């Protein structure tokens, strides 16, 4: 099986696994325990926090460990919105329909169940949120804006640093979901200027089920899980020590090897984009042609069922993904593809190919030889 779905998840790096293993059996203590085993586990968590802070260029006490990017998004949006409304009386939340569901569905819940007002930010033809779009949407009662760093589905990179300047000038918080971005882009908070940033370990060769939220010092959040005093009383629950250690090691390696990993995947990505657009009729690139993740290629094909195409690719030995989600047997276009303005005959035929550090040029060539005939077969079966 040739794997082209690194945006969905990545295999755990052997170096990461090696760092994790001692904390499953030898150093298995609860970090909240007073005895030596507990102190060893607590030290491992705090060393991991320092390692993450070093990559982000922030203070260690600005890092909260979570169970993943989705939980970090939930803590950021719900925690910030509720506590800021209580303090200021503001009610407006700004985000885009191109966000990950962990953001967009949390925003919808805040509107429906908690009485907040939600405004969807305009996106451009590439699915990006511009400075003008954010500036136009801000009002006196705006509390919070959430704009992802890089889009998981179409690869577009948003101008987060510039958006942060708009937020700061208007005294609103800016949260960014950087889950997809952290594998290849600089996540130093001083460069980005955000108040809140979500990360997830399994997107950069760390374990699933662990993530982190950066919280700028002085930013108050309503606690997400109540109970013990773990994570500065914002996220109760016994620490998942081996996963936290693995998360920190994976993030550190991603930062150290970012340039080399980018140089490895970008030429293959460009080859895929050029070849597909040249050899397959009625094909279009989705997302920005240049300001996009270096490992990310995504397309729509007219009159193709994206789910059927995925099945054909799977049978041919390729693991890819699509923006279409099968709902009760009827495929529906994703919110992201719909937001780009594509008609249904185009939007249903989305395909995402994402590369990783283990991808080879031979694998890419094999894929490009196979894809055109499978797209044509999917069109024939869809007629």
Q: Which of 58, 139, 320, 326 is catalytic?
A: 326
Q: Give the whole-angstrom CA distance, residue 336 versus residue 340.
A: 7
Instruction: Please report the sign of the dihedral spanned by the C-alpha atoms of residue 266, residue 267, residue 268, residue 272.
Output: positive
Residue pair 143/85 in contact (Cβ under 8 Å)? The answer is yes
Q: Could you give the residue ranges of the DSSP H alpha helices within 144-257?
A: 160-169, 189-192, 241-256
32, 24, 46: which is closest to 248 by C-alpha? 46
CB atoms inside a 10 Å sphere around CB 62: 21
CB atoms within 10 A of CB 160: 25
- Tell me how far apart the alpha carbons of residues 121 and 137 are, in angstroms, rounded to a whole number: 7
> Are the C-beta atoms of 174 and 145 separated by less than 8 Å?
yes
Does the annotation count 139 as an active-site position? no
CA gap 142, 137 in Å, rounded: 9
**374 SS3 class:** helix
Enumerate the active-site residues: 326
């Amino acid at each position: 099986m040739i794997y082209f779905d690194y945006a969905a998840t990545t295999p755990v790096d052997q170096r990461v696994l090696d760092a994790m293993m001692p904390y499953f059996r030898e150093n298995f203590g609860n970090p909240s325990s007073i005895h030596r085993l507990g102190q060893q586990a607590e030290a491992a968590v705090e060393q991991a926090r320092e390692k993450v802070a070093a990559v982000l260029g922030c203070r260690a006490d600005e890092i909260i460990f979570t169970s993943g990017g989705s939980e970090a998004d939930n803590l950021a949006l719900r925690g910030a919105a509720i506590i800021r409304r209580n303090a200021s009386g503001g009610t407006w939340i700004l985000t885009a329909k191109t966000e990950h569901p962990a953001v967009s569905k949390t925003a919808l819940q805040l509107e429906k169940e908690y009485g907040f007002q939600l405004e969807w930010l305009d996106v451009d033809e590439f699915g990006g949120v511009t400075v003008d779009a954010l500036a136009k949407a801000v009002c006196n009662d705006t509390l919070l804006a959430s704009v992802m760093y890089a889009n998981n589905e179409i690869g577009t990179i948003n101008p987060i640093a510039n958006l942060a300047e708009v937020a700061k000038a208007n005294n609103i918080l800016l949260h960014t979901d950087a889950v997809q971005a952290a594998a290849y882009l600089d996540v130093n908070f001083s460069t980005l200027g955000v108040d809140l940033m979500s990360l997830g370990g399994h997107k950069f060769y760390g374990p699933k089920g662990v993530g982190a939220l950066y919280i700028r010092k002085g930013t108050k959040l309503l606690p997400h899980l109540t109970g013990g005093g773990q994570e500065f009383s914002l996220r109760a629950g016994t620490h998942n020590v081996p996963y936290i250690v693995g998360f920190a090691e994976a993030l550190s390696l991603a930062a150290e090897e970012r340039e080399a990993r980018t140089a490895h995947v970008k030429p293959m990505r460009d080859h895929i984009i050029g070849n597909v657009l040249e050899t397959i009729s009625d094909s279009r690139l989705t997302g920005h042609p240049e300001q996009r993740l270096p490992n990310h290629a995504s397309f729509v094909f007219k009159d193709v069922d994206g789910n059927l195409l995925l099945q054909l690719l799977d049978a041919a030995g390729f693991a890819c993904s699509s923006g279409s989600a099968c709902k009760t047997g009827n495929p529906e276009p994703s919110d992201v593809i719909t937001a780009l303005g594509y008609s249904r005959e185009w939007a249903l035929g989305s395909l995402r190919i994402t590369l990783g550090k283990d991808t080879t040029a031979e694998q890419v060539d094999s894929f490009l030889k196979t894809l055109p005939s499978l797209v044509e077969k999917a069109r024939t079966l869809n007629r």
